[in-house]
Amino acid sequence: MSSNKQIDIVHRGHEEYQTSFDAMRSFTQARDEHTQDQLWIVEHPPVFTLGLGADRSHVLAAHDIPTIQTDRGGEVTFHGPGQVVIYLLIDLRRRHKKGRLYAKEFVYQIEQAVIDTLDGYNVAGERIVGAPGIYLKEGIHRGAKIAALGLKVKANGCTYHGVSLNVSMDLQPFSWINPCGYVGLATIDLASLGMAVPLAEVQNALAQRLQFLLTDA
């Protein structure tokens, strides 16, 4: 097995969700122990995605937004313009000083990267036990969800899918679903908190934080 722990950052730009989904699966199927780990930064047109065991009744009114079944964990979520989406094509066997980074630790590191990124904009984020993702810790929007994550971990320890962070987007489609399976869960973005931050800036900040934390795992 390669001992190279470098993680490459790949900017894929604006891309249809299905294109990214197919590419992730193809990359993971073709990779071997020498394949470089990658973070894919992408921005999707509006789409609802369902986790492997998701209940379709959580899509309350799709309107004209496509709904795509995936093989990640979790329930239903929304992706759209103005949202950071980073897919993690990672071999967990490389990501720990003792030889393997387990899925629970991997999720923790992803969430920490989001918390650290938000902290850079003076926004306090926190975890909620049993509800993967990051939520606002304080203020009038306390408890609103600002970041979601969902992963697929193959039997060989290789991962795909990833994390999304709301920057400046149309939040209305979140009201057309039960986000992550929670009825009435409030969602928020940085723009709603008065943060006029370029999407590319947040994309790079989160990708670099993920790269640092996972390389140093």
CATH of the domain at 112: 3.30.930.10
* 143 occurs within a structural domain: yes
Domain count, the chain: 1
What 3-state DSSP class applies to 161? strand
**Parent domain of 74:** 7-215
Angle at the Cα of 86 (from 72 to 162), degrees rounded to 5? 20
Residue 95: inside a domain:
yes
pLDDT per residue over 114-125, tens digit each?
A: 999 999 999 999
- Asked whether residue 42 carries a pLDDT value surpassing 70, the answer given is yes
Q: Is the dihedral of CA 18, 200, 85, 167 positive or negative?
A: negative
At residue 144 the predicted structure's pLDDT band, cuts being 50, 70 and 90, is very high
159 found inside a domain:
yes
In a domain, 140, yes or no: yes
**Reported confidence tier of residue 15, pLDDT bands at 50, 70, 90:** very high
pTM for the full predicted model: 0.94
Phi, psi angles (nearest 5°) of residue 20: -65, -45
pLDDT in tens, 68-111: 999 999 899 999 999 999 999 999 988 765 556 688 889 999 99
Strand partners, 9: 39
In a domain, 2, yes or no: no
Residue 173 lies in a domain: yes
Tens of pLDDT, residue by residue over 99-111, are: 566 888 899 999 9
For residue 126, being part of any structural domain is answered with: yes
Rounded to the nearest 10°, the torsion over CA 156, 3, 33, 70 is 50
Res 192: pLDDT: 97
| 105 belongs to a structural domain | yes
Q: Name the nearest CA neighbour of 208 among 100, 126, 128, 200.
A: 200
**Rounded distance between C-alpha atoms, residue 175 and residue 184, angstroms:** 8
Q: Which residues are catalytic?
A: 180
Q: What percent of the chain has pLDDT over 90?
A: 81
* Predicted pLDDT of residue 2: 43
